[in-house]
Each structure stands twice: as structure tokens, then as C-alpha cells.
Structure 1
Amino acid sequence: METGTTNLAKAKPEKGPKSILNIEGEEFPWDEDTITTEQIAQLGGWDISQGVIEVDQHNIERTLAPGEVIEIKPGHGFGKKHRWKRG
């Protein structure tokens, strides 16, 4: 008599993205360990001339240089650099 085994026990779990990036409050799946400043701006939908800032898990902001390669770390988010002018 055969026992009721299924292929579900042998199935591999689905592979998802390595990371989820938070760019301007929107989440993007990302399969690499690094990302460039230009890729962040492209995903966020703005021109690289507006600049890119990194916000770490302690809410500390850092302006990224053009062409910079950033290691993906948990708790980091990205946004365009905001400029303030007198009105």
C-alpha cells in the first residue's frame, strides 16, 4: 500500500527579490547587492541632476555622488535631494 506523499513537500520555495528598496516612499524589488545613484534616480522617476540622498535606519541623511555604488542594507531608503530657496 502506498502512502499519500505529495510533491509539495519536495517543492522548492519561490525565490523572491533579494531586497525591497524604499525610494520616495514607494517599494521596488531589487535582486542585486548594490545599486548606483543613477539607478536609484531612474527607479524613482526623477532626473539625476536633482541629486539623490540616502536615509539610513537612524534617519541620518547623506548626499550620494554621481556614479556612486551603494551597498544595499536593511533599513535604508532613498529620495531626491530637496533644495530650499527663499521666497
Structure 2
Amino acid sequence: MPDNNKQGPKYFVEIEGTEYEWSKETITVPEIRQLGNLPADQPIIEVDPDNNERTLAEDEVVTLKPGHRFGKKISYKRG
């Protein structure tokens, strides 16, 4: 008989193409940085299933949704 009361990760957070297990339905930007080992000097973006990007505020709390992923914002310099 399976143990349905077993507590484990309920959510997955995709950061820079890697899925991480997560136990809460929300995550903060500092937690995203720590989990994905992202540098503090680069903005963090949320990408929805339609590939729309949104830059997150440093103090933002994000509700996890299927198909959404996170990463560092890439800046391009002309040279």
C-alpha cells in the first residue's frame, strides 16, 4: 500500500534549463539566485510558456506556475 502522506517536493523550478525540486508554491528572487547559482549583479527574468519575458524585482515573491522558467537577463553589447 503506497504511503500517500509522505512529504516531498511538490514543485519544480526551472532555472537556466535545469529543473530543481522545491517544497513551496512560492519562491523569492534571492531563493532563485541561490538555487540556480545565479550572480547577484544580473537581473532575474521569468519566462512564460509563450516565451514572454518579465524582469523580476529583487524583493519579489513569485507563485510557481506550470511552464514558467527563470534565468538571468542577458545583456548584449555592440562592439
Matches within 5 A, 1:1-87: 9=1, 11-13=2-4, 14-87=6-79
Structure 2: gaps (5+ residues) = none
Return the TM-score normalized by structure 2.
Answer: 0.89
Aligned-residue offset at 1:41: 1.2
In 2: Cα distance, 1:33 partner to 1:64 partner: 17
Provide the aligned C-alpha RMSD in A: 1.3
Which letter does structure 1 place at the counterpart of 2:26? T
Identity of paired residues, percent? 50
Which structure: larger Rg?
1
Return the TM-score normalized by structure 1.
Answer: 0.81
Q: Structure with the greater relative contact order (CA < 8 A, sep ≥ 6): 1 or 2?
A: 2
Structure 1: gaps (5+ residues) = 1-8
Aligned-residue offset at 1:15: 3.9
Aligned-residue offset at 1:16: 3.2
Aligned-residue offset at 1:57: 1.4
